[in-house]
Structure 1
C-alpha cells in the first residue's frame, strides 16, 4: 500500500503524488526565485518550499492539479514541512483526479442529504421551514460537497454538511435538557448558519476564498440569502419570525471581533453560538491529535488559541492542553 503524506517521518525522503492546493512564486532577498507550496492528500495538508525554481515550474504549476514530488520531510517552527527537490504535473497514466487526494467527511453524502431532509420536517414554524427548504434546495449539491472552511475545522469535502449536522445533533440534545427553547428556531438557525460558505469558498478542491468571501463574508452572505428567499416566497421580512431567524444566524460567531454583526440577544442565538464553538473546537482537537504521536504535544494550534495539544500515551480518549 502506497504511503500517505502523514506516514513519512522527519528527515525521510518523500516520493509521492499529491494535490497542489496553493503555489506562490516568490523571490529571496538575494533575488533568487522559489515556490511556496501547499500540498495535500487524504491524510493531511503540508507546506512545502521549492528553492531555485525554474521557468518551467513557474509556468506549469497551478493550484488544483495533481503533482509528483520528490522531497525531504523537515520541520519548521515545530510544524511539518517539505523541502521539495523536484515537482512536476502528473502525466497520462499517473494519478490525475484531484478528488482522489481530497479528505472527505466520515459520513456518506446520501445519508447526510436524507438526514437533513428529516430535520427540516422538525421545523414546525411554517415560515422558517419554507426558508430553510428554499435555500438548501437552491444550494443542495454545494452544501453536501463543500468544506466548512479553507483550513482549520471541517476543511474537507462534505465538511459543511457534516459540521451542520453535528450542530443539529447537539441542538437536539440541548432542547431535551432545556424545554423552554424554541427547537424550530434552533434547528433552522443551525441548518442555515454556514450556508453562506457555498458563496464564500470556491469548492472542495484547492479551496480558496472567493471575491465575495473576502469582501463580504459568509455571515452577511447567508443573511442576504434569507432576505432573497423571503422576498421570493412572499414572507414578511418585518415579521418577528424573520427578524429573530436572521438575528440567530447573524449572531452565531458570538463576538463582533469574530465577525458577528450583532451579539446573541436571544437564548436560541446564544445556544447556536456555543454549539458552533463546541463543534469547531472538537474538530480542531481531532485535527491536532491525528498528527501527534502518543505521549507528545502537538505544535501550537492557531485554531485553538495557539495552544499545544497533548495526546495521552495510554490511548485514552481525553487530552490536556498547555
Structure 2
C-alpha cells in the first residue's frame, strides 16, 4: 500500500516517499534534484536525465518533451515539483515526467536528506561516556575542548561520515565515530602493547576534519575546503588550534595524534599522506576500516532492489554480495554475469 506523508506542494497531493513508489502509478510531489544531466537521443532529440530523492532513497527520472526548456529552470541541489508516471526499467522503478518546475514553497531540507536511524542525543551520551574513561589529563582536556565547542559539536552531530560510501546520511559522522570508539574500547584489552587511551582519543579525533569537509545543504556534498584540502589535513589543523590554547601539551603526544589523523586511511592510494608508523595508528586504521566497510556493505545490501539472493554487481568492491541470513541447506550459486576473482582485490 502506498504511503503518503506531510510534504505537500501547491495544489498537489501529499508526497510519496521514494521507497514507496510502485510501478504504473501517476504521482506528484516535491523531490530533491541530486543529479541533473542533459543528453541527446539517437534521433538527435534532447532529453533530461535526473536523479531525484528524499530521505528514503533515490529514483531515476527522465524528461523526453520540453527537456531543454525545463532544464533551464532549476539546478542540482534544488527542490522541484513534479508530476509523472512510474515505470520499470531494468527491474528498477523509474519516472517519466510530464510536469516539472521549481518548488514554490519553503521546505524542511531534513525531509529530503537521509538520516541515521539511531537516536542522536543518545549516541552523543554514549560517546561521552566512553571518552570519560580517559584519565590522561592532557588527552582529557583536549577532548573536553572539542566537546565544549558548540559550533563544532552542532556540525559533528549533523554531518555524514562520507558522501557516497559509508554512513552517508545525516548523523553519520557521530554514528561512525561512536562505532570506532567502541571498537577501540573492545580491541585494546586484547593487546597489552597498545595504549588504550591514545587509541580511544585517536578514534574520536580521526574524522573531525569532516565537519569542515562535508556540507549538508542543499544536499550532501564536499565544501571548497573539502575538495582542496580533504578531511585529513583539515583535521590536523583543527587539532593544532585546540592544542595551542592548552598549556604544556606534550609535543610527542601532539605529534602522535596528528600522525593518527593523517595515517588512518592506511595507504597512499586511499588518501593518506603517511602510512601508520606505530601500533595505535595501525590499530586505528584497522578498526576505522572495519566500521566503515561493515556499514558500507550493509547499506549496499539493504538498498539493493535486485530480485533474488544476490545484489547487483558492486563496482566499488568488484563483487556481488549475498543477501539475507543463513536459511538452511540451500545452495546459492553465483549469478550469471561478471565473474569475480576472490583473490583479485582484498578489502
* TM norm. shorter chain > 0.5: yes
1:244 aligns with 2:282: no
In structure 2, what is the Cα distance between the partners aligned to 1:186 and 1:278? 15
Q: Deviations over 1:223-274 (max 9, x none)?
A: 111111111224457x111111111111110001101111111111111111
Secondary structure of the structure 2 residue equivalent to 1:170: helix
Would the alpha carbon gap of residues 313 and 42 (structure 1) be closer, same or farther in structure 2, given more than 3 Å must change? Answer: same
| Residues 38-67 of structure 1, C-alpha deviations (whole Å, 9 max, x = no match) | 322232233434344143442245414254
**In 1, distance between residues paired with 2:69 and 2:307?**
43
Shift of 1:205: 4.9
**Are the structure 2 counterparts of residues 277 and 57 from structure 1 closer, same or farther at C-alpha, using a change threshold of 3 Å?**
same
1:68 paired to 2:79: no
Q: Cα 1:54–1:294, aligned 2, differ >3 Å: closer, same or farther?
A: closer
Rg (Cα) greater in structure: 2
Alpha carbons 1:17, 1:68 under 8 Å: kept = yes
* 1:139-168 deviations in Å (ceiling 9; x for gaps): 101000111111221111100100110111
Q: Which ranges of structure 2 fall in alignment gaps of 5 or more residues?
A: 5-15, 335-339, 341-347
Per-residue Cα deviation, 1:52-102 (whole angstroms, up to 9, x for no partner): 4143442245414254342434446x876544443334455xx93221232
CA contact (8 A) 1:79 1:299 kept: no
Instruction: Report the equivalent of 1:269.
Output: 281
Note the alpha carbon deviations across 1:193-239, whole angstroms, 9 max, x for none: 111111111126511111111111011110111111111224457x1
Alignment of 1:1-322 (within 5 A): 1-2=3-4, 4-8=17-21, 12-13=24-25, 15-28=27-40, 33-52=46-65, 53-65=67-79, 67-75=81-89, 82-92=95-105, 96-138=107-149, 139-203=152-216, 205-236=218-249, 239-292=251-304, 295-303=308-316, 305-312=317-324
Hey, what's the Cα distance between the residues in 2 that align with 1:256 and 1:14?
50
Deviation of 1:8 after TM superposition, in Å, equals 3.6
SS of aligned partner of 2:73: helix
Larger helix proportion, structure 1 or 2? 1
1:272-302 deviation line (CA, Å, top 9, x unaligned) = 1111111111112211221335733212224
In 2: Cα distance, 1:164 partner to 1:84 partner: 41
Q: Which residue of 1 aligns with 2:343?
A: none
Question: How many residues were matched structurally?
Answer: 314
State the alpha-carbon separation in 1 of the partners of residues 30 and 287 from structure 2. Answer: 34
Structure 1 spans left out of the alignment, 5+ residues: none
CA contact (8 A) 1:38 1:47 kept: yes
Deviations 1:91-125 (A, max 9, x none): 55xx9322123222122121122222222222222
TM-score by length of 2: 0.79
What TM-score, normalized to structure 1?
0.85
CA distance in 2, matches of 1:180, 1:14: 63
Q: How many Å separate the matches in 1 of 2:168 and 2:34?
A: 15
